[in-house]
Amino acid sequence: MDKVVASLDEAVADIGDGSVVGFAGFGLLHGYPVSLLHALRRRGSRELTLVCNSLGAGRDVRMELIEEGQVSKLIAAFSSRPGQRSVAEDLIDAGKLDVELVPQGILVERCRAAAAGVPAFFTAVGADTVLAEGKETRSFGDRPHVLETALPLDYALLRGWKADTAGNVVFRGAAQNLNPSFAKAAECAIVEVEDIVEPGELAPGDIDLPGIWVSRVVRATERVSVAELAAGAAARRRAPDSARVYFDKTALTREGIARRAARLLHEGAYANLGTGMPTMVSNHLHGRDVTLHAENGFLGYGGLVSGDDIDPDVYNAASQFVAVNSGASFFDSVESFEMARSGKLDAVVLGAYQVDQDANLANWTTPAQSGGGIGGAMDLVSGAKQLIIVMEHQDSRGRPKLVRHCDYPLTGAHCVDVVVTDLALLVRRDGEFWLDEVAPGFTPEEVLSLTDMDVRVSPDVVEMEPAE
């Protein structure tokens, strides 16, 4: 059985108009099947439905199919990212591109359901959000659950490391992400790889995707460089030593917020760090018995790395290159979200646009965005034992982020346990937020004057530790 095709154009030649095409890859540029996506653009198929985690970054990956008018619908966990206006958003606003936003873990679960012959399933993820509107909801135990349907694909475009001619595929490092679930949901899974070998050259125990799930194998001709990958992740990060000024006094830096949040993680904890500021927490866990979890399928990663320490296939969910700690493991996004939703994570650290006094969280979209970026946050919130929010006390326009009621669409309801800002540490006890710590040089009264929610002040409020 030989599943190798001679060229990329031949591999996509039968993808016709109206096809549902899933393509794997994670974050901004990691693991995208760039060669196959370019071949699909050359093929010229139209009225496509694209299924993906996100549209990536850079015109080469993200926008060619959409700019050419080949896509009519997008099903994704991200349709936009803050500060990165895209052609897709313009088309969404103009009514020329339909979008269905799906939490990342539910996206892969819907694909797994399609492969397993399960037409629908109930999940607590998204039950208290706008994503539940128009869907059947039932209560199981004391929680509402939303009915989600299976998501079959006509084609899946994937990228692996090695494959044999029989279609068995090996992924390297943390690069499995959505590949296995998309392959299994597809009528035809097409994999581009770096190297093709003969059957028997891959050890059976090393195979991540058995050939029965794969229809075609083709050699990749294009690669995203390490420099591009690093630049894509760095472009979205603000300087860790940046700090805001309130009352002519400097608040904690972003690094200082991350440092304080790191101290909240207990020894022996499994923890997930969201994108943005939460990723900096990993730099303050050296020597600690804390195991970090990433949605792309990585358990046991370490701090951020650069230069010669970079491995292009070892990255966290924010597309940042990281170290591999002893005892680490790699897997796919399905297993990663099993860990998240099952309550195995002791703590989840996320950023936020708003948190309100009922412990509701809004962190995936604003009125300025078309669609938004749900990512894995709704899945993580659903199963976290403790949810820690890190953010600056006010937004870029000087408006409070701690509010009476969230104005933005919710990520989760009644879920926030702790908030660390550049001015304060607030802990929720007995249904109320308590101000336990204030930034050095600030008073509780000053903090409360910038807070638009009811907060109780602890009788023994203390200063947050200054930067090291």
Q: What is the identity of the amino acid at 443?
A: T
The CA distance from 234 to 260, in Å, is 23
207 Cβ contact list (under 8 Å, min separation 6): 168, 169, 170
Stretch (H or E) spanning 433? strand 432-438
Cβ distance 189 to 217 under 8 Å? no
Phi, psi of 98 (to 5 degrees): -75, 145
How many residues make up the chain in this entry? 468
The CA distance from 191 to 218, in Å, is 6
Q: Which of 89, 109, 255, 295 is catalytic?
A: 295
Three-state secondary structure call for residue 123: strand
Cβ distance 354 to 198 under 8 Å? no
Cβ distance 251 to 243 under 8 Å? yes
Residue 295: active-site member: yes
Three-state secondary structure call for residue 43: helix
CA distances from 402 to 58, 188, 352, 422 (A): 34, 48, 10, 12
Residue (of 403, 361, 357, 354) closest to 382 by Cα position: 361
Instruction: Name the burial class of residue 398, with classes exposed (0-12), middle (13-18) and buried (19+) by CB atoms within 10 angstroms of its CB.
Output: exposed
Cβ distance 295 to 106 under 8 Å? no
CA distances from 61 to 36, 65, 131, 177, 374 (A): 10, 9, 27, 17, 20
Which residues are catalytically annotated?
Answer: 295
